[in-house]
Amino acid sequence: MSADGQGMYDLVRRLYPLCRSITGEGLRQTLAILGQETDLELHEVPTGTPVLDWTVPKEWNLRDAYVKDASGRRVIDFQACNLHVVGYSVPVHQTMPLAALRRRLHTLPEHPDWVPYRTSYYQEDWGFCLSQRQLDGLADGDYEVRIDATLADGHLTFAECLVPGQTSEEALISAHACHPSLANDNLAGIAVAVWLAKRLRAASSPARHTYRFLFAPGTIGAITWLALREPLLQRIRHGLVLACAGDPGPLTYKRSRRGDAEIDRVMAHVLTRSGRPHEIAEFSPYGYDERQFCSPGFDLPVGCLSRTPYGRYPEYHTSADNLDLVSPEAMEDTLETCWEVLTVLEANRSYRNLSPKGEPQLGRRGLYGSIGGRSDTEERQLALLWVLNLSDGGHSLLDVAERAELPFALVAEAATRLEAARLLAPTAHSERPGRVPLRQQA
């Protein structure tokens, strides 16, 4: 699987230099590159479109930006690092003394070599971010300040990747795509999502669920998507936000607002059985776009998978969240965990025992050893008995696995054998998906 890890890392490296924001060309280029990896549908939503309680903002594009000292030397240079400009800074070109400039400058005194990441999306403002050491090196005197940006009517861009399944029941995988040169937050999450889409497309037969991948700017992108896709939301059975998916820390799953949604239980089952160190955190209305998906008016069953989560690693939202922080191995570990979760979600059905009175005679169906008397409690046989015993329509295979304390795969295999022997039938019925168009845009 090392090829997957390397492939994801290469994608991260390719996307890293682009100057992304919640709108603009950097975001558009990012989505175009993703479209080279997997089939994507791009959507452009015009500035001014009302979306839930919000409005799609003006589009921001930045060509160049710098602060020059009296000698004309660029002491802060956007070309060197796109974090140097406060996101959504309005155009400015003026000369001002250091004393006046200072209040526009953001640093991280506790990490004197790192450049912080700052934005001001919804209040027109401008500023620069730089390392404390850079700031300390600035002499008094006048500086030429230039931000060559446009903030004008345009569009907000997002992309969806739809992998059709056997049913219209959907699983949503979402990764925010608005951050500039920050590798873990969230190029790693984007890469894992793309690789999941590739694997699903590469499968020999369609999955039971239809998978919808969303690459959109954080907050406003999720809100825009929710507004436009509202008629479709009732199809969503499970959802996962991928963020900070590539750092060396152990996996952390944050439950959905519901706390016991199927995705929550599957994630806990997979992580607990994996033997890997991990953390399972309760929902809180802070973090990534699960905030929007789990708002009370939607309350979608969407959790968030990270390695080290939101704000809990020192490099978070700084220039140190770079290509050194993420690794092919960590992204691959995240990918494999997601894949295992998808495998369980796919197989997790409720069944009805078609011979529920007493045990059916497994022996005559070749499902049971014929020599009795041995204390033969081996797991495969136990799995058959557990599935039969709990298949009353009210228990899913995951319920069976948890109550029986057996691996899910063994329980799912037992269900398959029993279904083949006509002793079991799935309870739910799902139809083929129809196509839901984007809601009419303003």
Q: Which residues contact its own copies (rule: CB under 8 A)?
A: 52-54, 86-87, 116-123, 125, 219, 222-223, 226-227, 230, 257, 284-286, 291-292, 294-299, 310-311, 316-317, 353, 355-361, 363-364, 370-375, 377, 382, 385-386, 388-392, 404
Least CB distance to its own copies at residue 52 (A): 4
Nearer to its own copies, 167 or 319 (CB): 319
Please list, in sequence order, all residues whose beta carbon lies within 8 angstroms of the beta carbon of residue 307, skipping any fewer than 6 positions away.
184, 244, 245, 246, 247, 248, 249, 250, 251, 252, 330, 334
Least CB distance to its own copies at residue 209 (A): 24
Nearer to its own copies, 167 or 219 (CB): 219
The per-residue DSSP string of 61-91 comes to EEEEEEEE-TTS-EEEETTT-GGGBPBTBPP
Measured CA to CA, the distance from residue 308 to residue 184 in angstroms comes to 10
Nearer to its own copies, 94 or 361 (CB): 361
Least CB distance to its own copies at residue 230 (A): 8
Q: How far is CA 5 from the centre of its chain?
A: 17
Nearer to its own copies, 125 or 262 (CB): 125
Nearer to its own copies, 195 or 313 (CB): 313
Cα–Cα–Cα angle for 404, 405, 406, rounded to 5 degrees: 90
Nearer to its own copies, 194 or 245 (CB): 245
Cα–Cα–Cα angle for 313, 319, 323, rounded to 5 degrees: 80
Please list, in sequence order, all residues whose beta carbon lies within 8 angstroms of the beta carbon of residue 369, skipping any fewer than 6 positions away.
363, 376, 381
- Report the candidate in 186, 177, 215 with the shortest Cα–Cα distance to residue 316: 186
Nearer to its own copies, 18 or 33 (CB): 18
Nearer to its own copies, 154 or 218 (CB): 218
Catalogue the E-assigned strands of 164-219: 170-176, 210-216
Least CB distance to its own copies at residue 342 (A): 26
CA-CA distances (angstroms) from residue 240 to 66, 279, 341, 388? 39, 16, 10, 32
Measured CA to CA, the distance from residue 413 to residue 402 in angstroms comes to 15
Nearer to its own copies, 50 or 141 (CB): 50
- Report the candidate in 401, 160, 105 with the shortest Cα–Cα distance to residue 268: 401
Least CB distance to its own copies at residue 325 (A): 16
**Within 13 Å and on the Cβ side, how many CA atoms surround 435?**
4
How many CB atoms sit inside 10 A of residue 405's CB?
9
- Residues paired with residue 251 on neighbouring β-strands, in sequence order: 278
First to last CA, the chain: 45
Measured CA to CA, the distance from residue 381 to residue 367 in angstroms comes to 8
Least CB distance to its own copies at residue 54 (A): 5
Residue 240 DSSP class = E
Least CB distance to its own copies at residue 238 (A): 20
Least CB distance to its own copies at residue 173 (A): 19
Least CB distance to its own copies at residue 396 (A): 14
396 burial type by CB count under 10 A (0-12 exposed, 13-18 middle, 19+ buried) = buried
Nearer to its own copies, 41 or 359 (CB): 359
CA-CA distances (angstroms) from residue 279 to 85, 252, 369, 402? 35, 5, 41, 19
Nearer to its own copies, 46 or 363 (CB): 363
